[in-house]
A and B are shown apart, each in its own frame.
Chain A
């Protein structure tokens, strides 16, 4: 912030390094357009490569208790970003922390994340949280900003989400909005997802297995068709993979715009 050159400032004449500047611009515009693949081939194919990194994405919990699944999925997506990048901001209000508990670093590291990269911001209310999220996205300090809200909040409307989306498009920050226990409302997000926990492939001794989610794409600004899939997180490769059903089928393909059909089938 204060690291200004104090003595010899290299004097760049405007036309001296056109190629460097051009390359820099090119790099920046590339970064703005780059896609973040989930790692699961089926999902990435339906998304035509992945989700836009410089954009806002919304994650709704399927049922009331699925807000945790939505939060976990958003967090894991953020970890798909390269490790060397800047920190990940987790912004939530007092209410969310009260109802959903706090993030537990041992669990995060066990899923392949680096707790030292996380910055936690706890605000008194949603208004502060939205403002903090906008600031975090606008500054170049974060690689991803996750904002967790709980319940139907009127503050999270088209205007406030557009503010976040525009900021994200400008700086190339991955902005993720977790909406636990809420009904989808019009918003400026690039994609909207419904996330539910799904039964995992059991380990020997019928022990619970790796994190598994039923995800359904509800809306995509780029025009990708809605779809549903079941994915599992592999912490060793830090990527998702298409989860096989217990019956040995590949990922479920249903046109579930409306209901959690996948859950009923499982």
Chain B
């Protein structure tokens, strides 16, 4: 692997065979070629490396949900409380090593009480932390050189020295780092995914691949998770299924719900919908050997006694239906109306996702105008997202439309009301109210044609704003 560093092509990484020939990372390519003329060279691709590392981290989540990337080559797993599944930490490491070698990857695994210690041991292939060279302190070349000159070559040499003179000479950071390496201070790692509130998992000695088995397992896990949620008085808003394939691949399925829930049956319906909606179906390959259900987001959900009223049923059914449709079609396809402060017609009404993470009660209350008895609707019941251009015959200069042509059909106007003048929101435009594009007044007309259809037309621009204003059809009245 080569990469351009400091203006020259240098080796970025080499395989064990190259190491055996005496090549090391950082060597100039020309020097390496001189030593080994038939050297096979490839471009270094850091992005692909990072992707591979991410993929490996996904796979490692079978051991613990707390997993952290240490680019360019490291992975940190916090296995506190997770090792009993494998017996002890050494067996877990053995299992991990076996999985990596199955993929033809070489790795060094080290266990430590603190992330720093484990990382240093793995990096310098040391058995004990006292054998690790002082470079593990990450103090910079100057510090390392000074330490070596003082005869302190390894962490073990430093460990027996008093700390205060060290801090005075090399700075506090070195001492802190030393304490972490010596497993005296334990910083937490920052996992790449936030830890789920609840997770339940099922291991299989023999990988399973039939969809029904997978679903049955998920159902059992959902039941367990529901029990845990019940104990906490919570309901999940998001559920994630992780399917760990025996070859290391991990498939993740996430299901969101509009209201907190701990109903396993409902959850199963949503998960089935989710699996049905997958664009490429689940590929079990050689089977899954671990299935885990995580609840990353949960909210308070009180126990409710079902009353005799049917109203609760309707609300709950509505929430369930919205969840189902949102899972199947995508949350952005199930919407509700939402008002916004604006007098530009198309800006005044939005649609927002019905399955919102904001509780419904917190939504700004839209006060849709009440109808006036005897007055017809002044706004159309249907609005075109983009106003439809039409050709209009109208009185000059600012007269009513007489007839117009839309979608190759001529409509003769028999009744008309207008104009209703809507000024542009000039404060939104950088140049303020200036005649020209982007800030034109609209004159709206309610018209009815000779066949009894009612439309909402507007002329974009007054004659003193623009030379030739254009006409558009914006909406349709019932």
Contact = CB atoms under 8 A, between A and B. Distances in A.
A120 B312 CA distance: 22
Given A1-B320, A104-B349, A141-B314, A236 B371 contact: yes
Contacts of B450: 199
A140 B301 CA distance: 22
A71 interface: yes
User: How many residues of B sit at the interface, in one of the four size bands?
Assistant: 35 or more
Interface stretch (B47-55, B105-113, B382-390): B382-390
Contacts of A212: 452
B316 to A, nearest CB: 5
A146 interface: no
A248 to B, nearest CB: 18
Contact of B451 (A76, A109, A263): A263
A107 interface: yes
Contact of A1 (B266, B334, B374): B266
A128 B446 contact: no
Interface string A190-219: 000000111110110111111110100000
Nearest to B319: A1
A200 B322 contact: no
Interface stretch (B4-12, B14-22, B154-162, B302-310): B302-310
Interface in B258-312: 259-263, 266, 301, 303-306, 312
Given A101-B475, A233-B478, A116 B261 contact: no
Contacts of A116: 336-337, 366, 368
Given A1-B261, A200-B415, A141 B318 contact: yes
A118 B380 contact: no
A103 B379 contact: no
Contact of A104 (B334, B381, B452, B453): B381
B336 A118 contact: yes
A110 B378 contact: yes
B334 A101 contact: no
Given A111-B377, A199-B448, A212-B452, A132 B325 contact: yes
A119 B313 CA distance: 17
A128 B329 CA distance: 8
B149 interface: no
A197 B314 contact: no
Interface in A119-166: 119-124, 128, 131-132, 135-136, 139-142
A68 B473 CA distance: 14
Contacts of B369: 106, 109-110
Interface string B445-464: 01110111110000000000
Interface in A59-80: 63, 65-66, 68-69, 71-73, 75-76
Interface residues of A, number: 74
A266 interface: yes
B235 interface: yes
B149 to A, nearest CB: 68
A65 B453 CA distance: 9
A3 interface: yes
Interface stretch (A4-12, A45-53, A220-228): A4-12
Contacts of A86: 314, 317-318
B325 to A, nearest CB: 6
A124 B277 CA distance: 13
A174 to B, nearest CB: 15
Contacts of B383: 101-104, 107
Nearest to B324: A135
A212 B446 CA distance: 15
A211 B58 CA distance: 60
Contact of A121 (B316, B329, B478): B329
Nearest to B262: A2
Contacts of A254: none
Nearest to A202: B415
A111 B371 contact: yes
A244 interface: no
B376 A211 contact: yes
Nearest to A236: B373
Contacts of A1: 259, 261, 263, 266, 316-317, 319-320
A245 interface: no
The 8 closest A-B pairs by CB, nearest first: A110-B377, A72-B478, A207-B417, A109-B368, A211-B478, A107-B381, A141-B318, A3-B304
27 contacts: A2-B260, A2-B301, A3-B312, A5-B305, A65-B451, A105-B339, A106-B379, A107-B382, A107-B477, A107-B478, A112-B371, A120-B334, A121-B329, A121-B335, A123-B329, A123-B333, A132-B328, A139-B320, A140-B317, A141-B321, A142-B318, A197-B453, A200-B448, A206-B415, A207-B446, A208-B376, A208-B446
Interface of B: 230, 235, 259-263, 266, 301, 303-306, 312-314, 316-322, 324-325, 328-329, 333-337, 339, 345, 348-349, 351, 354, 366, 368-371, 373-374, 376-385, 407, 409, 414-417, 446-448, 450-454, 475-478
Given A119-B322, A199-B414, 9 more contacts: A4-B303, A4-B306, A76-B478, A105-B339, A105-B349, A106-B345, A110-B369, A208-B454, A208-B477
